[in-house]
Amino acid sequence: MNYKESLKYIAETHKFGIRLGLDNTSKLLELLGNPQENLNIVHVAGTNGKGSVCSFIAKILQEEGYRVGLYTSPFLETFTERIRIDGKNIPEEEVAKIVSIIKEKIEIMVKEGYSYPTEFEIVTAMAFYYYHQQKVDYLVLEVGLGGRYDSTNIIKNPLVSVLVSISLDHIGVLGDTIGKIAYEKAGIIKENSTTIVYKQLKEAEEVIKEVCKEKKSEYIEVNFDDVNIKKSDIQSQVYDCSVMGKKYEDLQIKLIGDHQVNNSILALNVIQFLRDNKNLKISEESIRKGLINTKWPGRIEKIKDNPLFIIDGAHNEDGARSLAKALDKNFKGEKLTLLIGMLEDKDINSVLEILMPRFNKVITTTPDSDRAMNADKLKEKISKYIGDVTSKPDIKEALNYTLETSNKNDIIISAGSLYMIGKVRTLMKNK
């Protein structure tokens, strides 16, 4: 298979949907020689901030000179973004080669009576195989959905398990309360291990602590009480903090929003743990360089000036609150335009309730997904909040209309589904 044929083959497995359980992943990886068993892994689960936290950790390790794999999902612009080493995407020819090998193993599985693997199971197996082949020193591994039954949870002995901020999302699959969702996310916690946890809502915290107690996993909660943000604007943020007893001054990140300061501090706790308990050599210089050089596209990311154009993947209540806070901090009293597309299975009403009071004009569009909410239907919902709403189902047409009807001093925010903002980002880069 060539690269295009490989992607087509992977995409066709989408019809098998999401299936809970690790039997298929286990069998497929067994046929591939269990590559995951030879990797040093930092495993990260949660609702919001997984990608940012993973990126901070990976970049700091990379700055120290380690060869670092980073596995994330979904992708924004190109499939190969999901599987990276030292910031470089997996080459297309490697995708083709590995998918051809995996296809042969799947045929053996199916003959033995196993179900056909899902898209995520195949991509995760590909990632483990590639990272093992490439002999990475460390792998920062982001959970796809939930934790307990996620394909990435096939791993047995991560260096550390990490839980980022947990909120309501994927309620149809993970449960309809914070407690139920936290239980699924806490499924990545292993026996006699260490779990580093973002400060959670009480309901989530109680569940995670209980799982840690059952598994005899050391519970380390990251506290943000002593954080002092000295500078915060649309370009960068500078702050002081303490991490596991060590004081840091004038740390700098280029990701925007208070939540990104917290995400970077969670990552710092992971790095400090690896230094103190796993004997990793990581200098303060590497930490500082790693933080300032971390990029995570699509999260309150400025992609243009005049008019100022920002994209953000706020698609659930927690994400909407983080975006709203950043808008209030940086653009209070400014004229704001929103280009938005959402997936039908998200908590759209909560997102709209938080965001709409901050915008003067809204353009709705339809994300490239079979789960997308129709632009007209979204317009109808938004009309309850704002008078100036326009529906443009085609993303390219919606973007052009947004730019044409804005002047140089306007501020445009494109938010909602990652399936939409990824395409917006590509279109804007090509302009």
Q: What is the DSSP string of 141-164?
A: EE-SSSSTT-GGGG-S--SEEEE-
> What is the residue type of 225?
D
In this predicted structure, the answer to whether residue 92 has a pLDDT above a threshold of 50 is yes
Three-state DSSP state, 83 = strand
CATH number of 3-293: 3.40.1190.10
DSSP string computed for 327-357: HHHHHTT--EEEEEE-BTTS-HHHHHHHHGG
**CATH 3.90.190.20 holds for 301-430:** yes
Q: For residue 275, what pLDDT is reported?
A: 96
CA distance 158 to 153: 10
Residue-level pLDDT at 20: 67
Burial class (CB in 10 A: 0-12, 13-18, 19+), 107: exposed
Of 223, 168, 162, 224, nearest to 193 by C-alpha is 162
**pLDDT above 60 (res 287):** yes
Q: Where along the chain do the CATH 3.90.190.20 domains lie?
A: 301-430
pLDDT above 80 (res 169): no
With cut-offs at 50, 70 and 90, classify the pLDDT of residue 17: low
Mean pLDDT, range 27-55, rounded to an integer = 96
**Which DSSP category does 87 fall into?**
T
* Size of the chain in residues: 431
Query: Of 85-99, 144-158, 220-234, which has the strongest mean pLDDT?
Result: 85-99
Segment 238-257 shows an average pLDDT of: 96
Cα 305 to Cα 364: distance, rounded to the nearest angstrom? 22
Q: Check whether 99 has a pLDDT greater than 50.
A: yes
| In the predicted structure, residue 48 carries a pLDDT above the cut 90 | no
Local confidence band at 174 (pLDDT 50, 70, 90 cut-offs): low
Residue 235 has pLDDT above 70, yes or no: yes
pLDDT, tens only, 327-350: 999 998 899 999 999 998 878 899
Residue located via tokens 């380690």? 66
Residue 252 has pLDDT above 50, yes or no: yes
Cβ pair 256, 237 in contact under 8 A = yes
pLDDT at residue 358 greater than cutoff 90: yes
Q: Is the pLDDT of residue 15 over 80?
A: no
pLDDT beyond 70 at 19: no
**pLDDT recorded at residue 300:** 92
429: Cβ contacts below 8 Å, ≥ 6 apart:
303
Where residue 171 falls among pLDDT bands split at 50, 70, 90?
very low
Q: How confident is the model at residue 172 (pLDDT cuts 50, 70, 90)?
A: very low
Predicted local confidence at residue 418, as pLDDT? 86
Strands 194-198 and 218-222: parallel
Q: Measuring CA to CA, which residue among 344, 347, 282 is closest to residue 321?
A: 347
332, 361 contact by CB (below 8 A): no
Mean pLDDT of all residues belonging to the chain? 93
Q: Where in the chain is the domain with CATH 3.40.1190.10?
A: 3-293
> Buried b vs exposed e over 371-410: b needs ≥16 C-beta within 10 Å?
ebbebebbbebbeeebeebbbbbebeebbebbbeebeeeb
Report the half-sphere exposure of 70 (CA within 13 A, side-chain side). 30
Q: What is the mean pLDDT of residues 26-30?
A: 97
pLDDT of residue 368: 87
